[in-house]
Amino acid sequence: MGLNIDRADMAHWTILCAERYLSVFYDYLHERIYDYHVLQADETPVLVSKENRTEGSKHYMWVYRTDKMYLDKQIVLYEYQPSRNASHPRAFLKDFKGVCVTDGYQAYHTIEKEREDLRIAGCWSHARRRFDEAVKALPKDRRKSSLAYLALKQIQAIYREENKLASMTIEERLKHCQLTVKPLVDAYFTWIK
């Protein structure tokens, strides 16, 4: 009682539609993303099943987004690539000048060394996660006296101040960051050394 359409055909139609009509919008947003001073980048593995590829071979979805402070003009772009090679973010970020917040993956730092107009910054969430894992691995009676717990508390203080930025103007954000957030970050790195 209906028309059976093969799943592969529907997927093919979706891809054709995206390539033919949506790629123009993607390219436009890719150009607009360069207007922002701060971007966030991350890559995550995706399993792919395709001809001439090993079943379940690992490929990557690269994600580039504007900072959360730009909620009114948020841009999030996904880029599927067959590898985790540095050539992919190098090509995507070729015209970007500013700060790119990442998880610490070495490919980003390799690109940073090649360019004077690109700065790679570490993501607090990724740093915090490692300390959180370390605290959870300890017996409960030793957690609050651990160095990992102290690091978590300092990162929480930074988060608390950064959360206040959302409702501020750009000028107020800068002032708040210089007066409140920067001293906390400086204290954290002094302590960590």
* DSSP secondary structure, the chain, as one string: ------HHHHHHHHHHHIIIIIHHHHHHHHHHHTT-SEEEEEEEEEEE--TTS-TTEEEEEEEEEE-GGGGGG--EEEEEESS--THHHHHHTTT--EEEEE---HHHHHHHHH-SSEEEEE-HHHHHHHHHHHHHHS-HHHHTTSHHHHHHHHHHHHHHHHHGGGGS-HHHHHHHIIIIIHHHHHHHHHHH-
Question: Is residue 64 a contact partner of residue 39, using CB atoms and an 8 Å limit?
Answer: yes
Q: List the structure tokens of 51.
A: 């001809």
Neighbours of 100 (CB within 10 A): 19
pLDDT for 90 equals: 96
pTM: predicted TM-score of the whole model, two decimal places: 0.78
pLDDT for 127 equals: 86
- Express each pLDDT in 8-28 by its tens digit: 889 899 989 988 999 999 999
Average confidence (pLDDT) over 141-156 = 94
CA-nearest of 134, 67, 142 to 100 is 67
Confidence of residue 123 (pLDDT cuts 50, 70, 90): confident
Q: State what percent of residues in the chain have pLDDT above 70.
A: 94
Question: How far is 20 from 2, CA to CA, in rounded Å?
Answer: 29
Measured in Å, how far apart are the chain's first and last C-alpha atoms? 70
- Express each pLDDT in 55-89 by its tens digit: 667 889 999 999 877 667 899 999 999 889 999 99
